Structure formats: C-alpha cells, structure tokens
Chain A
Amino acid sequence: MPEATVPAEGVRVGVAAGADGRRRVSVCAGTACVFAGSMKIHEAFAAEIAAAGLQDQVEVSIIGCHGLCSQGPLAVVSDGDTYYPRLKLKDVKTVVEEHLLGGQVVDGLLYVDPATGERIACAHDIPFYKAQTRIALRDVGVIDPESLDEYLARGGYEAARKALTTMTPEQIRAEILDSGLRGRGGAGFPTGMKWKFAAASPGDVKYIICNGDEGDPGAFMDASIMDGDPHAVLEGMLIGSYAIGAHEGYIYVRAEYPLAVKRLRLAIAAAEERGLLGDDALGSGWSFHLKIKEGAGAFVCGEETALIASIEGKRGMPRTRPPFPAASGLWGKPTNINNVETWANVPWIVANGAAAYAAYGNDTCKGTKAFSLAGKIVNGGLAEVPMGSTLRHVIFDVGGGIKDGKKFKAVQLGGPSGGCVPASLLDTPVDYESLAATGAIVGSGGMVVADETTCMVDLAKYFLQFTQNESCGKCVPCRLGTKRMLEILERITAGEGEEGDVERLESMAVNIKRTSLCGLGQTAPNPVLTTIRYFRDEYLAHIDDRRCPALSCEALIAYTIDPDACTGCTLCAKKCPVDAATGEKKRPHIIDQGLCIRCDACRVACKFDAVKIVSGPEEIAAAVRTQRT
C-alpha cells in the first residue's frame, strides 16, 4: 500500500453479543451464504441449541454479509468471535456440543489459511479481514440487520442526533466536503459539492434519493449494505435531508434484490415507530419521510435521470443534462441523488469528523471503498480498503490470489461500463484518476478476476451483450452501434473473424462513446477497448489462427482423450449427455467430434486428467489423430 494510506485498524469485523449478554451464534444470511444453504444451518443451530437445553444461554441470530462469501455457509460464535466456515448440517451438532456445551473450540472445523495451512480461530485474525478497513461496511456482518436495537447499541443514529440538534446544514455540508467523500456509485463527483448545489437551488420542495439500482453483474456491495445494515443508509439520508433541505426521500432498489427491499421496509417502519424518522425526527423538529421504490428490471435506471423517470412511473430513459437534478429533478424539483455506499459513509463522517475520514486514502481520493471480489479469486466476497490501495493489495492480500494455483490474467473493474486491467498494471492504486488512466474505472466496485482460462474476447462479448440488451434505445449510436459491435465479436468468437475486425471495433467504439447521451452508451465500448488495448494478440489469434488461447470459445476448441493417460474407467462415457465419449472398459476412450457438444462434463469427471481441450485447426486435427481405443 502507498504511504499515504493509514494502516487498517480499529474498524474490524466482530459480531455483536446478545443484547442481554447471552452468548450468540451469528449465521451469515448474505446472499451468497443463503445460496450455499445458510438458512438450513440457521435452523439446525436453533434446533440443536434447543435440544441441548441451551436456549436461555445462547441465542441464534442472522447477520448480513460477513464478507468472505467463498467460505459460506458460515457462522461466528460470539465468544472470541470464533469463525466456523463452510459448515455442513452435521457440523452444527458438533459445534453445539463441543463449543457451546463443552467450551472447546472445534479445531477441525476452523478456517484454514490457504497460504500457511494454519488453522485460525478468531475472525479478526484471518488475513482477508485483517487487510481491510471497514467504514461503509462497519456494521455489515456484525449486527442483526432486522434489529434496530442492535444498530442503536453500536452508536446508531447518534450521528444524526448530533447533526440535527447541534449542527447547521452549512456545517454538515462543509464536513462532508472536507472529508473528501466522492460518489461511490462510480462517477466520483464530490458529495459535498453535490449537496451544496441541491441546497442552493431555489424552491421549498426538494427531494433526496438513494440509488440502490446496483445493476453491474458481479457487484453486490450495495445489496450487502442495504440488506446487512439498512439503518446506515436511513441515517445517512436523514442527515443529508437536513443538510440539503429536503423533507422527502426515496430509496430506489433494484428489482432483483427482494431481501434488501424487505429489510429496508422493516428498518423504515422501526425507525418511524421510535421517532427517528418522520415528523419531528429525533425530537429535533426536522421532518423527513422516506419511501421505497422498487425497480422493475432495467440496468439503465442506474443513470440518475433515468432513475428519476422510473420513480415518476415512466419508462426509465435518460434525458439531456443540464438541467441537472440538483436544479430540476424528481417532478421538476431540486433533487440530490447519491449511491447506497455514499449514504452509508455519511453517519461515520459526521460522528468521527471529516479529518478522520480524510486520513484514509491518497491525494486525490479520500476514505475507503467497498469492493465485491468475484471470479477466479480465492477469497471471493465483500471487502473494503482505503482508497489508493493497489490492485495487488486488494487481489492478493485481501483476495488471497488466484484459485486453483492458476495465473492472474486480468481484473475487470466496474462491470459493463468498466474495463480490464492486466497483470502488468497490478500496482495501480485504486482511485478514480489512476484507474481511469488504465481505461478502466472504479465504478461501483465490482472486481471480477480472470485467470488464464478466461477468454478476453469472450469476456468483452459478454459485457457488450449485456449493454446491448440494456440499451434503452434512445440514441442510435448506442442502440445500433453496440449491436453491430456485438455481431463482429460473435463472428470472431465463432471463428469467422475477418482481417480489419479489430480496427472496425476500435473505430465504432470511439464513435459510440462520443455520440451517446448517457453513461451507458458512453461507457459500453470500454470492455472492448481495454481488452483490445491489453490483449490484442488474443483477438488476432481468434481471427488469424482460428484459435482461442484460453481454450474457452466453443466453436474453436475440441475435446479429445489422451490414450496414454486414459485408464478406461468409463466415467466420461457415463457422464456424457450425448454419448460422444465411448470406449470399452479398461481401454482408452475416444470422443466423437461430430457428436460432442463441448459441455465439459467429461473433463470435469475425469480423475486422470486424460480429457484435453485443444484449439486451432492443426492442433485439433493432431489431437484427434492421437485418439485411439
């Protein structure tokens, strides 16, 4: 990490103990853990604890995303923050009997550090967590997101109380401006400045909006904050409403996040009931009402003018700016929009002061940024690091490097609007300006790591398919240009690329960027441009040699069996859904190229590494010739 960055300490992940001092088992109920079966683990803990007669001493609760999603389903026991990852149903009984009843940490179930092979008991000692600084995610994975009391016990709504009862709106805006907080949705516009514009706009009726339309595939920071610590968003908005002079606010949540909607609703209802929101919020005389608007499935609604149109009940199509929303936004009134993570930082800044926040980060970007780490990375999950940390720090120190001992190839930042950064630029600091110089963006914070088996042409095609599909259709360059670019990429990956395709892509990309109205079109070509910039050879291999170097594009590869490695175990033949793999017992098998659908089932099944993928016409012909029974 660069010197300007303050070492991570103080802001750590620890589960809350029970409100009444009872011991607690916190089961992660973040989305990835739920997919891994955490709700059944939660039930099992409740049942086993009751069966052991411990229900008066130990409570079972859920927590929002604990961060290390690749270790899910996981649970944390409050004594010593003991961390039990990858739990199976049968493990629950062991934890209850040995740890909760017997007082002994269950060694065999602890986290094993893949780098050292050591077992680590306490969550804080795990490198993934140690290497982080959590501000926006301070309570995510710590408290029960459905309990207002737990949020209050951690100092919740104290920042709002301070702001509403002891500060003037000008003072709050100055504090936010001084903190250096910039828009965490990706554009990086100074938040304090945005607030100043909205506050200065004439008019009695103003609105504030929380943009929870996190649409980048592969990004889930905002979802984790909304469903892991909803009150942080509410409190940030309450402070913002006072600083800007808005009595009404909306949280616009993506349709695909039902859990976030549920938890936000619960949070708003609880806060209103306690007088923290609504008329006379916190007894300060300030009134602020908050509503939730559910999106209906349109990526473009993350763009602020499209989002406003969607809240108004219209097609979510962007419009020209100016006028900016600060002057004329929702229903023509001055409106301030910030992203979820931006709002979640606000209470911390007000509570701890601008200087404390600005102490993190580098010259151009202050504070911290949450990232979702996904793809071919060991520690997939949710992480927050100081701005200015290097990509290497995020991917290798926090993320634990690449899965299965493979080589790092590139990291895709900012989803379909972003770009990829190759290995040679791993020491780039994560801040808005440095990443923009590489052709990528910080974006909302999605990081998808690619290894040597990821085809960069295919990845570019994937993103363009996405943006092409999500283009609202208003601007011709975006609507038709992305379509034409996609057709070229489809041809290339199908082995029908032509000379000049790369140049054609480049020239179209530049035109689309220049002539589109909104961020979607202006950034849609980025994945193509950055993959061409850093992996031009890979494009040329597809076009000139009809070869996919990553052995990924199905039209350009073949599956064959190495007769010297094959033991004739027949597993591939059993797994093959189209009977392309055949052979006699204990004799080498072969794959019929005419029947093979390249579904990869045989290669996954083979225990002897005998199924090979080859690419390129000559390589395929040679490998097919060596197959024998």
Chain B
Amino acid sequence: MPRREATPAPADAAAAAPEPDVDLSRVAELVAEIDPRGNLIALLQRTQDAYGYLPEPVVDEIARLSGIPASRLYGIITFYAQFTTVPTGRHKCFVCHGTACHVAGATRITEALEQELLVADGETRADREVGLDSVACMGACSQAPVMRIDEETYGNLSADETRKIARKLLAQIVAEQGGGSDA
C-alpha cells in the first residue's frame, strides 16, 4: 500500500505480542467442519474470524489436526494480505488508497489519523484499542477519499474532518474505558 514514513507513535509491535492463553477447542470444531484439503484458505479465514487473528498455538493446532506442515500454513498466511498473526485493534480504521482516493488525497487522510490516533499505518496501538491500515480499493471511488472505522463508512473526507472523526473515536475509547463497559 502507498504508505509514507510512519509518524513516530508509541505503538510497539513487540508490545502487541500474542496472548499466551488461547482456547484451542474451537480449532478442532473448525477443522471438523471445513476439510483442510482443498479448503485451506477458507479454514484459515474462518479461524481468523473466530480468534480475531491467527495466534501461533492455533496454527500449530491446525497443523497437528490436519497433518499439513505448519510451514505450509505459514506460506499461505504470509502470502495473503488478509491474514494476520498479531492481534488487531479493538477499533479498526481502514483508509482507502485506491487510485481515485490517492488522487483525492488519501495520503493526507492516513497522515491525519496517524497523528491523531498515535498509531502508525499498518500497525496496532500497544494498548490494542486502535489499529490503522490501508486498503487497495473499497469501490466507492466517487466518494473519494473514503475510510471505514469499524462498521461506519465516511466519504468525501478532508484532513480536517478526519481529525474530528479521530478525536471523536478517542473520546469514545476514553468513555468506554472509564465506564468499564470494555468487555
């Protein structure tokens, strides 16, 4: 993805290391449901849906149950952009960097989010509250530049408006933490 140099952010990849305790029982269910032979990508997609990411113990468990070497699984996981082996943020921001969004200033949208949310593009904040990523094209070219935060979509953005939206998200995070509603 088009990406400029990351703004210094407290996000530290090492800090967002996988959690040690992962419930592996769901892996067996998924492997029983989806035949890994010939449906490996679908199996990994469903597994990632279930866990939010693909933790190492889960990948090992798939390898054990299916007999497919973990090396082959990682070959696929690292090939496709959709898969991630590190936990993603609770709130997910995606900025479209399709051609139309690029010429309409998507780089400035990403930059504004990096500065406001204190997270570098393509990374998750150490507190795992927010992740920021670029995507190739969301197909909403006429509303360029566009972005998505969780299920909410935003079009015809300016850098200024993006900052406002980002500040709202930060306020929401603070409220969620303060209210103890964080599950």
* B-binding residues in A (CB < 8 A): 31-32, 34-36, 69-70, 72, 215-220, 223-224, 255-257, 293-299, 310, 312-317, 372, 374-376, 380-381, 412, 415, 446, 448, 450, 454, 459, 462-463, 465-466, 469, 472, 575, 577, 597, 599-601, 604-605
Residues of B within 8 A of A35 (CB): 138, 140, 143, 146, 153-155
| Contact A36–B138 (Cβ < 8 Å) | no
Query: Given the complex of chains A and B, what is the CA–CA distance between A216 and B100 in angstroms?
Result: 11
Query: Given the complex of chains A and B, what is the CA–CA distance between A220 and B98 in angstroms?
Result: 11
Given A313-B39, A577-B163, 7 more A-B residue pairs with CB atoms under 8 Å apart are A32-B142, A34-B153, A256-B135, A310-B41, A380-B100, A415-B99, A604-B160
| Contact A296–B159 (Cβ < 8 Å) | no
Q: List 27 A-B contacts (CB under 8 A).
A: A32-B143, A36-B156, A215-B136, A216-B99, A216-B137, A219-B137, A255-B81, A256-B135, A256-B136, A293-B42, A296-B41, A298-B80, A298-B81, A313-B38, A313-B76, A315-B79, A376-B103, A381-B142, A415-B99, A448-B103, A450-B103, A459-B103, A599-B111, A601-B159, A604-B158, A604-B159, A604-B160
| Contact A217–B158 (Cβ < 8 Å) | no
Instruction: For residue A559, give the distance in angstroms from its CB to the closest CB of chain B.
Output: 13
Q: Is B88 interfacial (CB-CB < 8 Å)?
A: no
Complex partner residue of B98 from A217, A380, A454, CB under 8 angstroms: A217
Query: Given the complex of chains A and B, what is the CA–CA distance between A74 and B71 in angstroms?
Result: 50
| Contact A375–B143 (Cβ < 8 Å) | no
| Contact A601–B158 (Cβ < 8 Å) | yes
Residues of A within 8 A of B104 (CB): 375
Q: Is B69 interfacial (CB-CB < 8 Å)?
A: no
Complex partner residue of A462 from B102, B108, B158, CB under 8 angstroms: B102
Query: Given the complex of chains A and B, what is the CA–CA distance between A450 and B44 in angstroms?
Result: 40
Which residue, B41, B100, B112, has most C-beta atoms of chain A within 10 A? B100
Query: Given the complex of chains A and B, what is the CA–CA distance between A446 and B100 in angstroms?
Result: 10
Query: Given the complex of chains A and B, what is the CA–CA distance between A446 and B37 in angstroms?
Result: 36
B interface, how many residues as a size bin? 35 or more
| Contact B141–A69 (Cβ < 8 Å) | yes
| Contact A601–B140 (Cβ < 8 Å) | no
Query: Given the complex of chains A and B, what is the CA–CA distance between A459 and B1 in angstroms?
Result: 13
Answer whether A448 and B99 are a contact pair too, CB < 8 Å, given A296-B80, A298-B81: yes
| Contact B81–A220 (Cβ < 8 Å) | no
Query: Given the complex of chains A and B, what is the CA–CA distance between A605 and B102 in angstroms?
Result: 21
| Contact A605–B103 (Cβ < 8 Å) | no
Q: Is B75 interfacial (CB-CB < 8 Å)?
A: yes
Complex partner residue of A220 from B102, B115, B137, CB under 8 angstroms: B137
| Contact B143–A372 (Cβ < 8 Å) | no
Instruction: For residue B4, give the distance in angstroms from its CB to the closest CB of chain A.
Output: 9
Docked complex: B52-76 residues within 8 A CB-CB of A: 75-76
- When C-beta atoms are compared, the residue in chain B nearest to A380 turns out to be B142
| Contact B141–A218 (Cβ < 8 Å) | yes
Residues of A within 8 A of B99 (CB): 216-218, 374-375, 412, 415, 446, 448, 459, 462-463
Residues of A within 8 A of B153 (CB): 34-35
Query: Given the complex of chains A and B, what is the CA–CA distance between A469 and B80 in angstroms?
Result: 12
Which 9 A-B residue pairings sit nearest by Cβ, starting from the closest?
A297-B81, A69-B142, A380-B142, A218-B99, A374-B141, A313-B40, A296-B80, A217-B98, A220-B139
Which residue, A32, A215, A223, A317, has most C-beta atoms of chain B within 10 A? A32
| Contact B38–A296 (Cβ < 8 Å) | no
Instruction: For residue A490, give the distance in angstroms from its CB to the closest CB of chain B.
Output: 10
| Contact B80–A466 (Cβ < 8 Å) | no
Query: Given the complex of chains A and B, what is the CA–CA distance between A296 and B45 in angstroms?
Result: 8
| Contact A462–B137 (Cβ < 8 Å) | no
- When C-beta atoms are compared, the residue in chain B nearest to A382 turns out to be B142
Query: Given the complex of chains A and B, what is the CA–CA distance between A299 and B98 in angstroms?
Result: 13
Q: Is B82 interfacial (CB-CB < 8 Å)?
A: yes
Q: Is B95 interfacial (CB-CB < 8 Å)?
A: no
Query: Given the complex of chains A and B, what is the CA–CA distance between A312 and B39 in angstroms?
Result: 7
Query: Given the complex of chains A and B, what is the CA–CA distance between A295 and B105 in angstroms?
Result: 28
